[in-house]
Structure 1
Amino acid sequence: MTHARPAAAILSALLVATTLSVAPARSAENDDPIRLTLHDWTGQLITTRIMGEVLQKAGYNIEYVQADYIAQFAGLKTGDLHVAMEIWETTGRDALDEATATGKVENLGDSGMLAVEEWWYPSYMKELCPGLPNWEALKSDACAEAFATAETSPKGRYLGAPVTWGGYDDERVEALELPFEVVHAGTDAALFAELESAYQRKAPVLLWVYAPHWAPRKYQGEWVEFPKYEKACYEDPAWGSNPDMAYDCGKPRGPIWKVAWSGVKDKWPGAHKAISAFSVDNDEMGGMITEVDLDGKSVEDVVAGWMERNTDRWSGWIK
């Protein structure tokens, strides 16, 4: 992961304490708060709040902490942070591997969701860029111009995610010699507001879209098919079409992982068991994200509805 921040700024760079919720202790091993990290996309807020609510039902003291997606690993290693509910195979694998190799961070298994994060375009753009979804279509000047804006012309414009998400898009453009300029959205909301606007106007747009999410459910479109990811692509410049540069392939795909400070299993063994048992699938999560982002419901209300509908399920996690 290229955008990780220095570990020296653990608390000042990545910790902002937010909501503190306390439930009457029933089965918790101690009263110390379990700190769950919150990030900047809707699905992660939902999974974290669900886990927090379930742990509260078991009597645990829960604290939610706003944290940078990659920089949070510094706090997980030291035990300043305790649980991160979504580390995506697509963008977080490098940081996860480094952290777990220290023995200070533990992978608690997959969340039940499978991640896709890749360049995406609306179906109406295929007429303007023949050859899609094959990535090589993007190498033509005509396709670049089809995706260009006044600011990037004659280069095409690719709207990437917030820089803190990682993903190596700038490196990918350079390694694959694509005539595109990467422009990073400031927030998750800005990213999809631009998609909404472009799609309604049938305007050119090429951007980072991920699943589980409402966007690929609502809009007709496709992900660009880059050379299939292999670990060597990110590590060995000799791999792939560009013998001198890494990242000449697409992003990896795979599970969304749950991770924790390695001390959780000893300090809160019941919580450790519950977090390990947590599981939701893509369709379920996509529906909840839709309720928040498109239907205007609050995360808290959507989580409360899920808790009410799934009592038997989450009760099994904390038995």
Structure 2
Amino acid sequence: MTRSFATPRFKAVRLAGAAALLAGTFMAGAASAQTVPETDRPIKLTINDWTGQEITTRIMGGVLEEMGYEVEYVQADYLAQFAGLESGDLTAAMEIWETTGKAALQEAVKTGKVEDLGETGLQAKEDWWYPAYVAELCPGLPDWKALNDCAELFSSPQTAPKGRYLGGPVTWGGHDDERVEALGLDFEVMHSGTDAALVAEIMSAYQREKPILAWVYAPHWLPMRLDGEWVQFPEYEDACYEDPSWGTNPDMAYDCGKPFGWVKKVAWTGGEEVWPAAYEAIRNFKLTNDDAGDLIGKVDVDGMPLQAAVDGWLKDNKDTWQSWIPKS
């Protein structure tokens, strides 16, 4: 993968002095009543392993820093981060997707230690995707029933004669292995090690017009800039994941597509008393798919440094983010 498509490697960092820098450049004018935080304890925001989540998190972090809070960014696995949120070692996570994190969120909220802070405004979709040129080679698509007829089209030396489905990192969840078994698909799931590797392989295949079936998600630049389509599986219902008798396979769950819908913010319940204004600001956070996809494309495709993309959005959207800050 060329550098222009590389997703940055993320590291847990403390941006010492970032609040002062931001305040001195483009963030002047926020409500003065919130310039003094309730405590000097740092707010710890999680960084997961895809560009969009870091962008969302650093936008929120920049606003919290303008309010006077110290913010730490902590690298954390997408699903494993709930343990840190329950213990209070982590404060908040900005992107829990209904597509892959719904069950984990519900279980965490049931403990009383994790709080649902509401939707981000982003609308999530992530499922099996193929480039438009593949439709001529497998004319039954996008119907999932066509996959077995075309399995060899997607095969690789490691999977032949079975097809190859390129999934996301194992830490993302998604139940693709269970889906293949439940629907009787002649495919093997090969998981990418990172988001960057997933996107790189999709781009390489697309540029060579090679058949590929892979995990693609939105909001993201890829479905905005590339011509393709998602496979149409049986429509998700909660019963599909919870009741094996549901659907085409009476003996197994996951015989449907993935859910799609909201992306939520979550936080350690105990933090509400420590940083009440910050929690209200996080609840107020809203971003659109177009904003997110555009920012991700600037970083992953155009090569803009991630923080520069975040700073540019904050500079150009003052009215939006200032409306998140609670007034006294």
TM-score of the superposed pair, with normalisation by structure 2: 0.90
The reply to whether residue 156 of structure 1 matches residue 151 of structure 2 is no
Alpha-carbon distance between aligned partners in 1 of 2:161 and 2:189, rounded to the nearest angstrom: 13
Write the deviation string for residues 248-277 of structure 1: whole angstroms up to 9, x where unpaired: 000000110000001122111100110000
**1:64 aligned partner:** 73
After TM superposition, where is structure 1 displaced by more than 6 Å over at least 4 residues in a row?
none
Tell me the SS of whatever aligns to 1:21: coil
**2:58 aligned partner:** 49
Deviation at 1:155, TM superposition (A): 0.4
Match of 2:108 among 77, 99, 120: 99
Match of 1:238 among 233, 240, 245: 245
Match of 1:226 among 233, 236, 245: 233
Match of 1:269 among 269, 272, 276: 276
Alpha-carbon distance between aligned partners in 2 of 1:65 and 1:21, rounded to the nearest angstrom: 14
Match of 2:86 among 61, 77, 102: 77
Alpha-carbon distance between aligned partners in 2 of 1:95 and 1:122, rounded to the nearest angstrom: 31
Q: Residues 215 and 17 from structure 1, CA distance in 2 versus in 1: closer, same or farther, beyond 3 angstroms?
A: closer
Higher relative contact order at CA 8 Å, sep ≥6: structure 1 or structure 2?
2
Which ranges in structure 1 are unaligned for 5 or more consecutive residues?
Answer: 1-15
The reply to whether residue 87 of structure 1 matches residue 96 of structure 2 is yes
Tell me the SS of whatever aligns to 2:79: coil
**1:19 aligned partner:** 14
Tell me the SS of whatever aligns to 1:317: coil
Write the deviation string for residues 141-174 of structure 1: whole angstroms up to 9, x where unpaired: xx00111112211100000000000000000000
Give runs of aligned pairs for residues 197-208 of structure 1, distance below 5 A: 197-208=204-215
**1:255 aligned partner:** 262
Alpha-carbon distance between aligned partners in 2 of 1:198 and 1:242, rounded to the nearest angstrom: 33
**2:29 aligned partner:** none
Alpha-carbon distance between aligned partners in 2 of 1:264 and 1:249, rounded to the nearest angstrom: 37
Tell me the SS of whatever aligns to 1:85: strand
Match of 1:127 among 136, 144, 151: 136
Alpha-carbon distance between aligned partners in 1 of 2:134 and 2:322, rounded to the nearest angstrom: 47
**1:139 aligned partner:** 148
Residue identity over aligned pairs, in percent, reads: 63
**Which amino acid letter does the alignment assign opposite residue 107 of structure 1?**
D
**2:293 aligned partner:** 286
Alpha-carbon distance between aligned partners in 2 of 1:19 and 1:192, rounded to the nearest angstrom: 28
**Which amino acid letter does the alignment assign opposite residue 21 of structure 1?**
A
Match of 2:173 among 166, 169, 174: 166
**1:213 aligned partner:** 220
Deviation at 1:17, TM superposition (A): 4.4
Tell me the SS of whatever aligns to 1:227: coil
TM-score of the superposed pair, with normalisation by structure 1: 0.93
Alpha-carbon distance between aligned partners in 2 of 1:174 and 1:221, rounded to the nearest angstrom: 25
Deviation at 1:61, TM superposition (A): 0.8
Alpha-carbon distance between aligned partners in 2 of 1:307 and 1:202, rounded to the nearest angstrom: 38
Deviation at 1:37, TM superposition (A): 0.1
How many correspondences in the alignment?
302
CA contact (8 A) 2:118 2:264 kept: yes
